[in-house]
Structure 1
Amino acid sequence: MKVEILQELKPYSFNQIKRIFNKSDVSTEDILKSLGMTNIVRKINKDIQETELEELLNIENIEVFENESDIFVFKFVGMIVVEEVCLIIYPKYLSDYKIDRDRNYSDLRQILKVIKKYKFKEQKIDGSGSIFSKYNLLSTALELIEDYHENGLYRNDQQIIEVNGDGEILWEKTINESQAYFSQNRPFYLDIFNVSQINDKDDYFRRLHAAILTDLSKKLKEIFDIINVESLLLTDEKIENFGSYEYINTNIDREMRTQFVTSRVEVLKLIKRYLLESESFSSNQKISFLGTSSFNLVWEDVCSVVFGNNLKTPLKELGLKYSENVKNSALLVDVIPKPIWKSNEFNVEHSAKRTLIPDIVVVENEGIYIYDAKYYKIVLDDKKVEKQPGVEDITKQYLYELAFKNLANENNLEFKENSFILPTDKEDPVHIGEVSLDFLRNLNGLNQSKIDVYLMPAREFFKRYVER
């Protein structure tokens, strides 16, 4: 399998992508169209609106492609497999991403672990589907591998009844069918019936499960080697030996109707999905991926875990009092007022359901720390500032401090930090500068006249995130 290393939001021309896939113009267009439908690829051309271009702040050196009619960016972090080509797409903040191959893909492996943990958390919280809900052979294959390591091969146990065996005693059968002998008015039996559970190693679904694990391990061996997943070569049987897709599918449906062990039902569903994805899609639809098109949300959650976000912590647990709190069980986030809407006709007020919510607020050491995790590749030096958070982001940081002002005064808390937190591939934190808005910095009650800007070591943050 051919492996190509790319970077998120770096511009690539149509001809470059065509050479990567070694396809015709039409086939390359089909691939890009499929990737675009899943929000993985964005097309940038001369007709793109300025607002759309501003959304992709990290596109640089577009002028290099001025002779190209269309250029494309990958708004994605992770791995994409298209037939025999594997694209590895690194986050935009990594400056040395090209040498990760020489480091045995250590950055990639760590990033995929972080994305996996984030997606698992999000699915537990809101039950939402992920980017993997559509055709995704790679994702299904990894789920099957993980299930195997947790539960082993599919099994259908058979009950064997023996006389004087080692299994559980069947007292009712023993009493009804064995001769009872009495000693001191107490019965005893020379022959006792026992029941044992025997794993049927020739079971159809057990053998099918082994064949599928072997098949996907062979198909994805190069990918598994990159992400450090052990291949499973469990049998010489081929999937086609078990019948047509329709025949296998019918057998699985029949088995699921009689199987009541949840873990076994789940693996049958995975087997069915793998067969569907392997057999039922045309070649130009065979695109698999492992990653996310919203790495900014991943970075926010990483920072929240590392800093120890207190927004969802009850005020009582933080040892705080708040006279405006009408609920003794209120959380720290409930301190932020909600907009009040008033009807002139009916003279009735309504509280809005939503308000401004900061990314991270920490209360410790008699202080309040406000952090906003931003996923930008900022440039702030003696010549320029670019790719920085917008004015609305700066405004909100000041407003967050105002929102907590009364709580801070009532509990003698000092605002010790108000900062933007951005990722870097450097090994240590770097305080690269600050930003301020003159008409806001002089507002009554603001302690912080500026917003600090920090670059935080992503590798160290990822390590802490995965370990917690």
Structure 2
Amino acid sequence: MRAAYFCELRPYSEDEIRAELAIGIDENRAVIDALMDCGVIRYRTGDERDEEETLGADGADATQRYQFRYVGIAIALGHAIICYPKYIRSTGRPECQMRQVLSVIRRLGQEGKLLDPQNGGRRSDQLTLMIRLLLLYDEYGVYSNYEETRLLNGPGVIDWQRTIDMETPVISNGAPIYLDLWTRKTKRTEYDLIMRLHRAILSECSRFLAEFGLSALLSIGTVELTDESPADMGEPEYFRWLIDRERAGQYVTWKQDVLDLMRAYLTEHGVGADRGRVLRLGTTSYYHAWEVACKTAFGDLLGCRLRELPIDLAKGWRARKSETLLQIIPSPLWTRAQGMGDAGDVDTLIPDTITFAKAEGRTLFCIYDAKYYVPSRRGKIHGQPGVESITKQFLYQSAYKDFVEDHGFDGVASAFLVPSEEDEPKLLASVSFPGVMSGATGASAKFSDHIDMWALPAHEVFDCYLRRRELDPVVYESLLG
């Protein structure tokens, strides 16, 4: 079966969706309704004000009312839908890019960083269960138990402790000689029901993904271990009881995970679950993935304690060495009118990424704001960060003013980071705020009077996140201004 591809936030008409799915009008309407019910599709009214929501809406005609506000895989009424990120503008089916996108989504889920847990707040849904089971199999193999037998003078490894405890040796030249030896042999229980169930579930999951053409996209090989299906083997209630009993005595972590996943799979009725339910592996908050990836790629120091920073703390800051770079940002101070009590603490500024860098002999304090936007490349700029983001970026610089000056930084680099499908970083634009934010002159010359907006190769930044590495500083020196 051929999966259908759609671009995140691009407006589509019903006819365009039906053409990509290659189905009839009534079935198409049912698929759209199912996807709208679970938040994968939203209806575009034309009154949206959010910059992200209006992406691509310019020039859309009156029939293009549907936007896929989602990145990932959704299976609805027997149809596989692939939603790829909005920064991928190439025509065609971006299968290669989607392999990385799905790896990022899986990693975020494993780390508990998905902002919108699947299926009404549960930690995972049926599609996620299938993928996790297959990945565990790829790493550890089939769940199996072993029987250990001990025999007198039998085959296997000599069990010296049992031999010493049970047998009387003959002493020869002062040394004990054992005429009879106990041996230990371990064999796998081939007909263990848990093992059979695991094989059946793995084979069923693999066939399900292959049916929708998702195996290659998820980088999961075909698994054909048995012709049995879980439904053929017995009642789910019995197998859940059997799994619970096995789990009580199992202390190997990966086996515990497999048992938990199999139990959840049976509870959700396997691939035979209600066909009207939408199965998902994805997120409506892929902007968060970009933020997390940028933090990794640029070596974010925001959560580091001052004593852990790669600088010698100035004298006035040593008493605050246990605070983080986030905690040293001042907070707004509210004072109630006389006699009305304490106003209390309030929230303060929270930058995306703070890091230090060296360029051309200068040490720079870098303030980066990851923006999951796709700004226009020609003509009047649109799709760029708004005035609130611009103002906050200047305020971050002001909040760190004392720290920057006291530690002798040579300058401040301030930039918005947006994703692109290109292979090299590209400066798209710069923004200043004349008459509101003062220029970088005189004593404040080291502070930036503008914010650059850079388009970064998304595949490279996400690769940093997946491999837990940082970007090559030589390649990205240009971001330092």
Shorter-chain TM-score: what band? 0.7 to 0.9
Q: Does 2:81 align with 1:91? A: no
1:368 partner letter: F
Superposition TM-score, scaled by structure 2 size: 0.85
Q: Does 2:361 align with 1:367? A: no
**Secondary structure in structure 2 of the residue aligned to 1:98:** coil
- 1:340-367 alpha-carbon deviations (Å, 9 max, x no partner): 2334326656433x31011111123322
Show the counterpart of 1:308.
Answer: 299
**Secondary structure in structure 1 of the residue aligned to 2:394:** helix
- 1:156-189 alpha-carbon deviations (Å, 9 max, x no partner): 111211113433526357634x454344566543
Q: Considering only aligned residues, what root-mean-square deviation do their CA atoms show, in Å?
A: 2.8
Instruction: Give, in whole Å, the separation in 2 of the partners of 1:78 and 1:227.
Output: 11
Of Structure 1 and Structure 2, which has the larger fraction of its residues in helix? 1
Instruction: Give, in whole Å, the separation in 2 of the partners of 1:322 and 1:59.
Output: 52
Instruction: Give, in whole Å, the separation in 2 of the partners of 1:377 and 1:275.
Output: 42
Structure 1 residues 289 and 172: CA distance shift in structure 2, 3 A? same
Query: Between the two proteins, what is the percent identity of the paired residues?
Result: 28
- 1:5-35 alpha-carbon deviations (Å, 9 max, x no partner): 110001122343345272554x555544443
**Secondary structure in structure 1 of the residue aligned to 2:214:** helix
Which residue, out of 374, 377, 384, partners 2:374?
Answer: 377
Show the counterpart of 2:142.
Answer: 153
Q: Does 2:254 align with 1:263? A: yes
Structure 1 residues 120 and 235: CA distance shift in structure 2, 3 A? same
Instruction: Give, in whole Å, the separation in 1 of the partners of 2:460 and 2:324.
Output: 30
Structure 1 residues 291 and 378: CA distance shift in structure 2, 3 A? same
Q: Does 2:79 align with 1:82? A: no
Instruction: Give, in whole Å, the separation in 1 of the partners of 2:423 and 2:315.
Output: 40
1:275 partner letter: L
Superposition TM-score, scaled by structure 1 size: 0.87
**Contact 1:174 1:193 (C-alpha < 8 Å) held by counterparts:** no
**Contact 1:436 1:449 (C-alpha < 8 Å) held by counterparts:** yes
Which residue, out of 275, 287, 290, partners 1:283?
Answer: 275
Structure 1 residues 260 and 428: CA distance shift in structure 2, 3 A? closer
Stretch of structure 1 that moved more, 159-168 or 184-193 = 184-193
Instruction: Give, in whole Å, the separation in 2 of the partners of 1:386 and 1:75.
Output: 20
Q: Does 2:461 align with 1:464? A: no
Instruction: Give, in whole Å, the separation in 2 of the partners of 1:321 and 1:130.
Output: 44
Stretch of structure 1 that moved more, 387-396 or 228-237 = 228-237
Question: 5+ residue gaps in structure 1?
Answer: none
**Contact 1:336 1:355 (C-alpha < 8 Å) held by counterparts:** yes
Stretch of structure 1 that moved more, 160-169 or 451-460 = 160-169
1:416 partner letter: V
Structure 1 residues 294 and 33: CA distance shift in structure 2, 3 A? same
Structure 1 residues 50 and 96: CA distance shift in structure 2, 3 A? closer
**Secondary structure in structure 1 of the residue aligned to 2:83:** strand
1:400 partner letter: Y
Question: 5+ residue gaps in structure 2?
Answer: 469-481
Structure 1 residues 257 and 462: CA distance shift in structure 2, 3 A? closer
Structure 1 residues 240 and 282: CA distance shift in structure 2, 3 A? closer
1:421 partner letter: L
Q: Does 2:23 align with 1:22? A: yes
Show the counterpart of 2:404.
Answer: 408
**Secondary structure in structure 2 of the residue aligned to 1:401:** helix
Residue 140 (structure 1) shift = 1.2
**Contact 1:90 1:97 (C-alpha < 8 Å) held by counterparts:** no
**Contact 1:314 1:329 (C-alpha < 8 Å) held by counterparts:** yes
1:233-244 to 2 correspondence within 5 Å?
233-244=224-235
Show the counterpart of 1:229.
Answer: 220
Structure 1 residues 93 and 172: CA distance shift in structure 2, 3 A? closer
Structure 1 residues 311 and 248: CA distance shift in structure 2, 3 A? same
Q: Does 2:382 align with 1:391? A: no
Show the counterpart of 1:420.
Answer: 416
Instruction: Give, in whole Å, the separation in 1 of the partners of 2:343 and 2:317.
Output: 18
